[in-house]
Amino acid sequence: MLEVRDLIFAYPGQLRPWHFDFSVAPGTCLAIHGASGSGKSTLLNLLAGFLEPLSGDIRWQGESLVHRRPWQRPMTSVFQEHNLFEHLDVMTNIGLGLHPGLKLTAEQQLAITQGLQEVGLAGLGKRMPAELSGGQRQRVALLRAMLRSEPVLLLDEPLTGLDDEARQLMRKMLLKSKAAGSILILASHDEEDRSVLADNVWNL
């Protein structure tokens, strides 16, 4: 269970702080809903550990995460900038997500090849990020996040800008992650994405 308890945050000079309090069970998706500027990305950044709360707690399996660095948290984030390494090809970008020294097992290599097929990118493993469209880059970033198999996936507008076919494929993959027990925290303006993926909604 991921628990967010009385988490308070404000940017310097902000008069009304945010107050977050919710919990999310494994195998479910919480959508964060709110107007532009309401704090969706801020909440994801707090969960990921890129921002420090003023007070309150974030707990995973009963253990506090607030003093853990981002890479020590059981989470993977896919934020709007897709964060691919520009000088590394698609396979290497994904492989680095699985093992920082690229020591991949045969099983992991197979998972990458199959994953690329599933998200409609078969045969593009040797491409450099600059040789991909925006939507293809987005799918690489999402696939890398899903293959990391961390218990919590933080998703900031993950399907924005994808065409219908790619969007359907990625929704299917995300539903598969959820069925396998992942927690999805989803910031999305898209009502259909929320209705297909989310079990609960946190309104900002």
What is the CB neighbour count within 10 angstroms for residue 150? 16
Report the nearest approach of ligand ATP to the CB of residue 203 (Å).
12
CB 61 within 8 A of CB 1: yes
How far is Cα 113 from Cα 91, in angstroms, rounded to an integer? 8
* Cβ closest to ligand ATP, residue 17 vs residue 181: 17
* Cβ closest to ligand ATP, residue 13 vs residue 101: 13
Supply 144's token pair: 């890398």
Q: What does the DSSP 8-state code read for residue 165?
A: H
* Cβ closest to ligand ATP, residue 79 vs residue 116: 79
Site residues, ligand ATP (CB under 6 A): 11, 34, 36-42
Per DSSP, the three-state class of 106 is helix
* Cβ closest to ligand ATP, residue 37 vs residue 100: 37
Residue type, 87: H
What is the rounded radius of gyration, in angstroms, for the C-alpha atoms of the chain? 17
